[in-house]
């Protein structure tokens, strides 16, 4: 766990339509309203160049290696411009997707070598998430919720099932850093996660009060 920074990095992971964005909005509002320093951001994106790269990588099909490098380029820029500066202050950083997305999508689902993707992840961002919140929903249900399918969603349920398997593999490598929310938490996602954040990081969170 990276406890050398005063900030906390919490990433949100899941297959398409898992409800990450809604959960992030809710957690952001919860801490903001109570006077805590909190930042919500996303990958790919989160800064001007990151957003340009996002448009590029989501709009056209390309070789899986090209895709990998674009995600890592977007990550490097976003990490150094936004995440790292925020973590150097007592801030709760909520990131919609991070390095585990690249392991699940580009490695497990697309077939690029796991360890090489890990190496590139570590090169693009020198900090690991303090907590990975994994929204583990049935990929088929998630796809039904997606309104404007991007090109990953368009690949269908089998691809999403592979992505989910990739997440499960990543989780086995660092189980203590993962917190999984599934159908049984459906109605209580925000309070369940708020409670878990306080349980794990109470001292650090107290310092984030403005």
| Out of 55, 66, 150, 174, the residue judged to bind ligand TYD by CB under 6 A | 150
Q: What are phi and psi of 154, to 5 degrees?
A: -65, -20
Verify binding: residue 107, ligand TYD, rule CB under 6 A: no
53-72: which residues touch ligand TYD (CB under 6 A)?
Answer: 58, 71
> Would you say 13 and 171 are in contact if contact means Cβ atoms under 8 Å apart?
no
∠ CA 152-57-155, nearest 5°, is 15
Matching residue, tokens 């459906």: 186
Our measurement of the distance from residue 96's CA atom to the centroid of its chain's CA atoms, rounded to an integer in Å, reads 4
Identify the residue whose tokens are 């919609």: 96
Which region, judged by CB under 6 A, interacts with ligand TYD, from 79-87, 98-106, 164-172, 186-194? 98-106
190-203 residues labelled b (16+ CB within 10 A) or e (exposed): beebbeebeebbee
Is 45 in contact with 82 (CB distance < 8 Å)?
A: no
Q: x-or-dash pattern for ligand TYD, window 170-199, by CB under 6 A?
A: ------------------------------
Provide the mask over 25-44, with x wherever binding to ligand TYD is found by CB under 6 A and - wherever it is not.
------------------xx
Q: How far apart are CA 17 and CA 98, in angstroms?
A: 16
Work out which of 41, 46, 53, 97 binds ligand TYD, going by CB under 6 A: 97
- Which residue in this structure is represented by tokens 């349920």? 157
Give residue number: closest CB to ligand TYD.
Answer: 105
- State which of residues 16, 77, 130, 136 lies at the interface with ligand TYD (CB under 6 A): 16
Closest approach of Cβ 139 to ligand TYD, in Å?
A: 11
Name which of 105 and 167 has its Cβ closer to ligand TYD.
105
Give the footprint of ligand TYD on this chain (CB under 6 A): 16, 21, 43-44, 58, 71, 96-97, 101-102, 105-106, 150, 152
């Amino acid at each position: 766990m990276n406890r050398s920074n005063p900030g906390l990095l919490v990433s949100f992971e899941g297959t398409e339509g898992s409800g990450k964005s809604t959960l992030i909005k809710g957690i952001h509002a919860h801490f903001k309203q109570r006077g805590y320093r909190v930042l919500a951001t996303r990958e790919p994106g989160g800064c001007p160049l990151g957003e340009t790269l996002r448009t590029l990588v989501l709009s056209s099909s390309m070789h899986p290696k090209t895709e990998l490098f674009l995600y890592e380029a977007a990550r490097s820029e976003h990490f150094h411009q936004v995440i790292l500066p925020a973590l150097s202050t007592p801030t709760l950083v909520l990131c919609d997707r991070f390095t585990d997305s690249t392991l699940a999508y580009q490695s497990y689902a697309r077939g690029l070598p796991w360890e090489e993707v890990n190496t590139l992840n570590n090169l693009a961002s020198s900090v690991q998430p303090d907590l990975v919140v994994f929204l583990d929903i049935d990929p088929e249900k998630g796809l039904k919720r997606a309104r404007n399918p991007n090109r990953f969603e368009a690949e269908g349920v089998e691809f999403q099932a592979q992505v989910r398997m990739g997440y499960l593999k990543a989780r086995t490598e660092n189980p203590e850093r993962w917190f999984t929310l599934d159908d049984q938490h459906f109605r209580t996602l925000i309070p369940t996660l708020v409670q878990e954040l306080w349980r794990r990081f109470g001292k650090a969170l107290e310092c984030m009060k403005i």
